[in-house]
Amino acid sequence: MASYSIADIASWERFYRANFINSLTGFKSVNLIGTVNEQGQTNLGIFSSIVHIGSNPPLIGYINRPVKAAPHTLANIEATKLYTINHIHPSFVQQAHQTSAKYEAAISEFEEVGLTPEFKENIAAPFVKESRIKYALSLQEIIPIRLNDTFLVIGKVISIHIEEDIVSEDGFLHLDKANSICSNGIDGYYTTELLQRYQYAKPGNQPQKIN
């Protein structure tokens, strides 16, 4: 087993370190965030830092990089207080990755990469039509992380659109049946296979499998 110290990590070439540290955190949820500015210009960006904050109320966060590096999504969310999160499937992973290119603010990534904006009632922000699991959020709070000038952006889920056969009786979503992908590092995309579900764990018992 190889060991690396804090001095080793600091000495690494920039892209090597970015690849390594981004992989170290493990597999990630990777999604497209859809927004619109006050003039109606749509924007679509890929984000792999979605994090569950709570279920009741349903709060979901993501980390936005420093404003200079990733300005458009955050500015649109601040202006309109609304955004959508859309799962990615293998059929459009290449287009999803391409949204990470630094397009000008006046350009819509939807048109550039070939994905379809879809508008649903009362939600100004665009969904991705090709996505099988998508939801809209209402901005609740933007928490600055002063350590490195990033932001934790927290939204409340206000509507969910999902293919019905993915939802199981107890509310669990079969993301593998939906073919939602996950990511690793900056640029690796993965499919998944269910290993096992386990029942709620209690001291003294072996965890029971859910079939």
What residues between 165 and 204 interact with a second copy by CB under 8 A? 167, 170-173, 175-176, 180-182, 184-185, 187-204
Residue type, 119: F
One residue of 27, 37, 75, 119 binding a second copy per CB under 8 A:
27
60 belongs to the binding site for a second copy (CB under 8 A): yes
One residue of 28, 70, 117, 124 binding a second copy per CB under 8 A:
28
Q: Are 97 and 189 in contact (CB under 8 A)?
A: yes
87 belongs to the binding site for a second copy (CB under 8 A): yes
Q: Are 159 and 84 in contact (CB under 8 A)?
A: no
One residue of 41, 50, 71, 79 binding a second copy per CB under 8 A:
50
For the chain, how far is it from start to end, CA to CA, in angstroms? 36
Q: Which residues, in sequence order, are CB contacts of 11 under 8 Å at separation 6+?
A: none
Minimum distance from residue 10 beta carbon to a second copy (Å):
8
One residue of 11, 55, 78, 105 binding a second copy per CB under 8 A:
55
Minimum distance from residue 137 beta carbon to a second copy (Å):
10
- Cα angle 178, 189, 23; round to 5: 125
Residues 109-168 that bind a second copy (CB under 8 A): 112, 120, 132-133, 135, 140-141, 143, 145, 147-148, 150, 152, 154, 156-164, 167
Distance, CA of 109 to CA of 196 (rounded, Å): 37
- Taking CA atoms, 166 is separated from 20, 163, 170, 172, 209, in Å, by 34, 6, 12, 8, 20
70 belongs to the binding site for a second copy (CB under 8 A): no
